[in-house]
Every structure is written in structure tokens, then in C-alpha cells.
Structure 1
Amino acid sequence: MLKLETDLQGKRALYGEIEPLLRSHGFSLCGNWEYNEGMFDGILNRMSGETIYLRLPFDVLSGSLDHPNTMLAFGQPFLIKHVVNVGLDHDQNALLTTTGFDQFQAPLEKDANIQKKSQWEERGEEKVADMFGNYEFIH
């Protein structure tokens, strides 16, 4: 995991305003959200079974998550790399995988080492700056 230095940390926004903006940049609400916190996930890079995700964690300050008027406060963005097995799954679930019933294989490494750290930090920080450059956060 690589923590990014951006201006996003501590910024506040309404879920109903920020979610469409993030969706337009390929981000979605991470499936492991709780009612008081969560993350928006976006793919920064995908190549040969390796995916580098840009994650934007947040806390819920008021309201219920995924309601338009829910107030969010962003935490420190970070990058994480998943490495997946791009070959055939030869275990007992192989039939499910080949028939399309098991759409996703578990990553071989959920938090793999990221090579060229400064390069990826720079790309992640640029992506955050580009996404929120003209957005008016709540003070």
C-alpha cells in the first residue's frame, strides 16, 4: 500500500454530489463499506493480471451511506495492487469459472508490492488532483 499526499484528506462532500463525479472517472463504492465508513475504488492501471487501485477512504459524518444527503469526510487516498491468476482455475470451482457462474477469482496477492513507487505515487496524486480540481467541497 502506498499512501498519497493530496489535498483531499479532511475535505467534506455530500454523497449525492460526489458519487456521480467519481463514477464519471470510473470509481465505485467499494463493496466492503460500513454505515459509518467506506471507500471509493478506481483502477489506476491494469496489465497482465496486475491491477493498481486508487482508493479514496471516507468517514460518514451524518446520514446513512448511499443516501444523497449523507455527509462524507475523506481520508488519505492510497494505492493498492492486486495480482490475480490469469490462468485456468484447476480446483473444484473450475466448472463454475468456465461456465461463468464464478465471475471473479480471488487475488493471488491482495496487497502486492508496488514497483517504481514514486512513479505510481505521482500518477495517483495527479489523478486525485485532476478529479477534484474544480470541485467545490463543503467547508
Structure 2
Amino acid sequence: MHTFQSSIEGMEFPLILLEDRLKKEGYVIGGNWEYDHGSFDLLLEQQGDYLYLRLPFEAEGGELDKDDSTVRMLQPFLLSHQYDPDRDQDASSGAVSAAFNQFQSPEDQDAPLTPEQIEHGSAALERAEKLLNQVYAD
């Protein structure tokens, strides 16, 4: 895992607005969703390891299942899930279901990151920051 310093950390947004803007950019709601916190995940690579940029958030003054939920962004981070390539070879699945494979747990949930992967994550975070900073200014 690699954490990033980010201009979006601490910003508050209506959750419905974040969902609208980030899903258009390829983010999905992460599997760690709870009533008081969650994350948006962007799958960056899926060759050998699954590389994700995660934008975590927590609820501000309420629960996330309310229509008027507001969230505060937390520190973004990059993580790599490494799956056992020998397991489940006969199954085929699309990119989204493979990214959040319900049938196989990662062999290593915090696989080491290369400098190239960190740079890739940093570039993706810059795009998210630009988008969310623009939304925040509106």
C-alpha cells in the first residue's frame, strides 16, 4: 500500500454528487462500504496484480444510506491485490467481476508496488483531484 498526500483530503461533498462524477470516470463503490464509511475504487491494472487507486471517505453527521448524505474525503492510497494464477483457471469473468472477485480472496492483499505502479497511481490521483477540486469550487 502507498498513501498519497492530496488536496482532496478533508473536503466534504454530497455523496450523490461524488457518485455521479466519479462513476463517470470509472470508479466503483469499494467492497468495504459500511454505514459510516466507504471508498471509491479505480482499477488501474489487472495483469498479474490488480492495482487500485482508493479514495476513502467517511460520513459527516449521518449514515451513508440517506439521500442527503455528506461525506468527508480521507487520505487516498494505492493498493495491489495479488491473486493466485493457478486457482479458478476454468472460470472466466469480466473486468469488473474479476476486479472484485467473489470466489477467490487475494493471495496477497497488500502486494509490493513498483515505482511505475506508484507513478500510475499518482497520475490517476491527479486527474481525480482536478475533477473534485473543480466540483468543490462550484
TM-score range, shorter chain: 0.7 to 0.9
Q: Which runs of 5+ in 2 are unaligned?
A: 94-100
> Structure 2 matches for 1:23-102, cutoff 5 A?
23-47=23-47, 49-89=48-88, 98=91
Equivalent pairs: percent with the same residue?
28
8 Å Cα contact 2:44-2:121 kept in structure 1? no
8 Å Cα contact 2:78-2:118 kept in structure 1? no
Q: Mark the CA change 1:43 to 1:121 in structure 2 (over 3 Å): closer, same or farther.
A: closer
Provide the C-alpha distance between the structure 1 equivalents of 2:118 and 2:84, rounded to a whole number of angstroms: 26
Runs of 4+ in 1 over 6 A off after TM superposition: none
8 Å Cα contact 1:82-1:110 kept in structure 2? yes
Q: Which runs of 5+ in 1 are unaligned?
A: none
Provide the C-alpha distance between the structure 1 equivalents of 2:59 and 2:40, rounded to a whole number of angstroms: 13
Q: Give the structure 1 partner of residue 19 of structure 2.
A: 19
Larger radius of gyration: 1
TM-score, reference length from structure 1: 0.78
Q: Number of aligned pairs?
A: 130
Q: Mark the CA change 1:82 to 1:137 in structure 2 (over 3 Å): closer, same or farther.
A: farther
Shift of 1:103: 5.3
Give the superposed CA RMSD.
2.6
Provide the C-alpha distance between the structure 2 equivalents of 1:85 and 1:46, rounded to a whole number of angstroms: 13
Look up the SS of the partner of 1:9 in the other structure: coil
